[in-house]
Amino acid sequence: MLLVGLDMMRALRLTQEGPDEVAEGTAKEDIAITPLAIPMLAGPAALSTVTMLMHQADTWPKTCLVLGVIVFTGAVSYATLLLAEPLNRWLGNTAFTS
């Protein structure tokens, strides 16, 4: 894993894509892979926090509170991701430059 990460930092490509893969990648507008976003939203820290809080929740109200916060966090994340593109169009590219 370390060597792969170092190769990525130096922009080295040890694997070669076939012509079909290159053509498919250039034809698509967005080539992002959805599973890459999952660890960013629910990474090890979030999973261990939920595990710890669920272990400490010894009554039904506390368990429901933890589950409610999980649902609320998911809804806020969904709304943020849903509004990211319209907000970017509204602000434009110059809004984030110094």
Residue 34 has pLDDT above 60, yes or no: no
pLDDT at residue 14, rounded to an integer:
66
pTM of the model: 0.54
DSSP string over 14-53 = -S---HHHHHHHHH-S----GGGHHHHHS-HHHHHHHHHH
Region 33-54: mean pLDDT is 78
Number of Cα atoms under 13 Å in the Cβ half of residue 1:
0
Q: Are 68 and 62 in contact (CB under 8 A)?
A: no
Q: pLDDT tens, 45-84?
A: 888 999 999 999 999 999 999 999 999 999 998 998 899 8
Residue 24 has pLDDT above 80, yes or no: no
Q: How far is CA 40 from CA 5, 11, 31, 48, in A?
A: 17, 22, 18, 14
Query: The domain containing residue 87 runs over which residues?
Result: 2-96
24: its two tokens: 């498919």
Work out how many domains the chain is built from and give that number.
Answer: 1
